[in-house]
Amino acid sequence: MRIINKLSAIAIVATMFSCVNQKADVKSLETEIDSASYALGLNVATYVKSNFDEANKDLFYQGFRNGLDSTNLLMSKKDVGVVLSSYFQKKQVAKMKEQQEKAIKEAEIKFADVKKAGIEFLEKNKTKKDVKTTASGLQYIVLKEGTGEKPEGPTTKVKVHYHGTSIDGTVFDSSVDRGTPSEFALNQVIKGWTEGVQLMKVGAKYKFFIPQELAYGAQQKGAVIKPFSTLIFEIELLDIIK
């Protein structure tokens, strides 16, 4: 947004100057106004060069001249902010996506052993007695079946007790240890939870083995949950909150 505001301000400043005939380049700055004017030009050019290096320079110069004399405008002044906002928001989204993709690639290399360990764990775990696997790859064991109603969908708010560990048994979060149940809508948690809790009836207790792609993926969460970590949760569905 700072880029958008800065360029919008540049456009406004440009309209404050009156039109003068084009003159040959001066060789020296004689007055304070000369220096300030030249400094403003350098400032604009430097900012544009740093933040909009793909700019069509001919059209930039044309827009600047048109803004100075307020004639031959190819765009209304009220649309300037809209155009700049739209363009730089898209550019910002693209940059963020590029940064995220770069971070994921770096994490893939740095935490390859964590990802591999999770895959191997799940491959072995799915062959164990009573372990069920859904189409998404979520694995679970029914520790206790419930008799109440099921969540109606991902927007359902539930009350649960849970105990979360890594595949080596390290506890990273536990409402059971805190002694206080948690309440949240199922679309506010990781995908493995969103899918898994919807399989349960009130009163049920399941143990879930959640692949990294249904957990936090390439994100680091605290000291225990490293990127690409497979997670294990014991979840008891206590109630559905109306």
pLDDT of 220 over the 50 cut: yes
pLDDT of residue 28: 87
The mean pLDDT value for 64-76 works out to: 83
Task: Indicate where the chain has its CATH 3.10.50.40 domain(s).
Answer: 112-241
Percent of the chain topping pLDDT 90: 59
Confidence of residue 200 (pLDDT cuts 50, 70, 90): very high
pLDDT of residue 73: 86
d(CA 232, CA 235): 10
Within 13 Å and on the Cβ side, how many CA atoms surround 74?
8
Question: SS3 of 232, please?
Answer: strand
More confidently predicted of 189 and 18: 189
The mean pLDDT value for 217-230 works out to: 92
Confidence of residue 29 (pLDDT cuts 50, 70, 90): confident
pLDDT of residue 21: 45
pLDDT of residue 8: 53
Residue 34's CB: how many other CB atoms inside 10 A?
Answer: 12
Residues 232, 167: contact at Cβ < 8 Å?
A: yes
pLDDT of 19 over the 50 cut: no
Query: What is the value of pTM for the model shown?
Result: 0.68
Confidence of residue 165 (pLDDT cuts 50, 70, 90): very high
Cα distances (Å, whole numbers) of residue 146 to 69, 74, 149: 76, 68, 8
d(CA 8, CA 140): 55
Task: State how far Cα 229 lies from the chain centre.
Answer: 19
pLDDT of residue 9: 54
pLDDT of residue 211: 98
Mean pLDDT of the chain: 88
pLDDT of residue 10: 54
Confidence of residue 3 (pLDDT cuts 50, 70, 90): low
Residues 215, 190: contact at Cβ < 8 Å?
A: yes
Active site residues: 162, 172-173, 190, 216, 233
The mean pLDDT value for 228-233 works out to: 98
Within 13 Å and on the Cβ side, how many CA atoms surround 6?
14
pLDDT of residue 65: 82
Burial of 199 (0-12, 13-18, 19+ CB in 10 A): middle
CATH architecture under which domain 112-241 falls: Roll (3.10)
Cα distances (Å, whole numbers) of residue 70 to 16, 95, 198: 10, 34, 62
Ramachandran category for residue 138: left, alpha or beta (phi over 0 → left; psi -120 to 50 → alpha): beta
pLDDT of residue 78: 84
Highest mean pLDDT: which range of 26-30, 48-52, 160-164: 160-164
DSSP 151-164: P-STT-EEEEEEEE
pLDDT of residue 7: 54
The mean pLDDT value for 135-147 works out to: 97
The mean pLDDT value for 178-194 works out to: 96
